[in-house]
Amino acid sequence: MAEGSSVTRRHASWHCLPLELRAMIFKEIACAREEHPGWCAYAAVSREWQHHIEAATFRMLRLDEQHMNTLRTTIQRRPERQKLVRHIWLDIELPTYTCRCCDRDESSWSIVKNRGSVADAITALFKVLAEWDEQKDLTLEINAYSPSDSNHYFGEWLYRSGIDDTEEELSRQAQQAHDRMVDSKTHRAANPQTRYLPPASVQRAFRSVSPFFRAKLPQVVAITGVIIRRQFRRFLCTESLQQILKRLPRLEHVTYEPWRPVDMHSPQVDWEKFATLAFPKSVEKVTVFQDFNDKLQNHGRPFNPPIVVRPPISPGIGKEFAIRSMCLKEISLSYMVNAEDFFQAGCKFRTLLWPNLESLALTSKCLTQEGSHKDIDSLLYNAGVAALRMPRLHTLVLWNGNERNACAFIYRKTGMSTDITWRSTWGFKLNPLVVEAWEEVAFKLHVSTLRINKDSIKKDEIRNHGDASK
């Protein structure tokens, strides 16, 4: 090197990195935020960092009634942050209870207090959100539980989960919950599949917390979606849901996952009333999944065979939903309506048209290995006839399932191909008339030929109806 020469050192600059690489770095930082509580401090690096950190921070907010003031101070006064919020999880914490009463009937005072807690939390949130402007996409999720729920008979249940939770994360949470299970002389039900459950403990877990609103809820134009997952095991009546939904004039999608009653004394959804819910005209997608656990039917009967309580499904529910779905784009109804009733209404009322319907999923009681082949043929044929009045339909699924049994008939239009698939744990041959009906659907709706597929499912892979629904 020549004498007097110098070497200029160049330091790598953040702005020299490609945009794609910077986006990957921001994504990695956001994914690790749970492990680093102080990660929000990175927002001070620059305006670019502030934008990405705030977008990840405020995308989903988990709130309880105590943090409503935080919502006001951090977002209410910063309108630009409102647009970053995509999901609000209202986690309503109910009062705790002790071992002295966990296996006894819940007192009237406790029931009223729980319902009041739910009403106060929803009212407080609506008062805040009433001041928000219209949002492109904002979902409200409602959950309610007592911290004591996991400390007594049902420690293995999940009571909370997040919008970002993967299957692995949910499995990890389930294992942690299982490890917390109490298995003592007082709580002999660490495994509810094989052990005795006091009836009062089960009824408490599914008790009604339907709120009594003291005044009309404020109107909220920001919310476009409402979700009540199956983790919310306590019961909301149809009237309470109606009071909530009618104050959301821009609502686009509703997901509701109530539980089937575990005994004759448990509250249950009045599905005939639910089918006539006055959804806002803006609603395009409705998903209803009635969850159940037949093994809980044995609570209080340690030696007798389980007595499964399955209330009969009124044919009128299927008819009502067939009519109500005429204005929807997507509808999925599981275990609270029979597909047979839905399509029979379509056959009976020839004027029924579904001009906007793109996706339809229904369960059917006849789709079992023991089911009548004639009934199955009739269901699939009537579904094909109804599909001719669904010009935008691209997906239709008819299914059923329980332990070691699963079945699904799937119609799907993807790209230039149109397929029907029979997928089950047992063999079944499609009737030629059924195939002909769906060939007509493929030709008239999509001007394409129909491909027929058959998939087999291993019985050992189906542990419950949840596995069958995947």
> What's the CATH code of the domain at 390?
3.30.310
Average pLDDT over the chain reads: 81
241 and 281: one domain?
yes
**Do 39 and 102 share a structural domain?**
no
pLDDT score at 33 = 65
Domain annotation covers residue 419: yes
126 and 269 co-located in one domain: yes
Residues 197 and 87 in one domain: yes
Note whether residue 279 is domain-resident. Answer: yes
Say if CB 445 and CB 388 are below 8 A apart: yes
- For residue 180, the model assigns a pLDDT of 43
Residue 2 lies in a domain: no
- Regions of the chain short of the pLDDT cut 50: 1-7, 163-164, 166-186, 188-194, 302-305
Do 40 and 74 lie in a common domain? no
Considering the domain architecture, whether residues 26 and 79 belong to the same structural domain is answered as no
In a domain, residue 335? The reply is no
In contact, 98 and 42? CB cutoff 8 Å:
no
Residues 301 and 419 in one domain: no
Q: What is the pTM assigned to this prediction?
A: 0.84
Q: What pLDDT is stored for residue 443 in this prediction?
A: 93
Q: Are residues 240 and 373 in the same domain?
A: no
What is the number of domains present in the chain? 3
Is there a domain that residue 33 lies in? Answer: yes
- Select from 287, 311, 335 the last residue of a domain: 311
In a domain, 421, yes or no: yes
Of 58, 83, 109, which closes a domain? 58
- Residue 170 sits in the same domain as residue 102: yes
Residue 6 within any structural domain of the chain: no
Is 466 part of a structural domain of the chain? yes
- Greatest alpha-carbon pair distance for the chain in Å reads 99
Domain residue limits at 267: 60-311
Domain boundary among 283, 311, 339: 311
40 and 126 belong to one structural domain: no
Residues 269 and 290 in one domain: yes
3-state per-residue secondary structure call for the chain:
CCCCCCCCCCCCCHHHCCHHHHHHHHHHHHHCCCCCCCHHHHHHCCHHHHHHHHHHHHCEEEECHHHHHHHHHHHHCCHHHHCCCCEEEEEEECCCCCCCCCCCCCCHHHHHHHHHHHHHHHHHHHHHHCCCCCCCCCEEEEEEECHHHHHCCCCCCCCCCCCCCCHHHHHHHHHHHHHCCCCCCCCCCCCCCCCCCCHHHHHHHCCECCCCCCCCCCCCCCCCEEEECCCCCCECCHHHHHHHHCCCCCCCEEEECCECCCCCCCCCCCHHHHCCCCCCCCCCEEEEECECCHHHHHCCCCCCCCCCCCCCCCHHHHHHHHHHHHHCCEEEEECCCCHHHHHHHHHHCCCCCCCCCCEEEEECCCCCCCCCHHHHHHHHHHHHHHHCCCCCCCEEEEEEEECCEEEEEEEEEECCEEEEEEEECCCCCCCHHHHHHHHHHHHHHHCCCEEEEEEECCHHHCCCHHHHCC
Domain co-membership, 53 together with 77: no
pLDDT of residue 13: 75
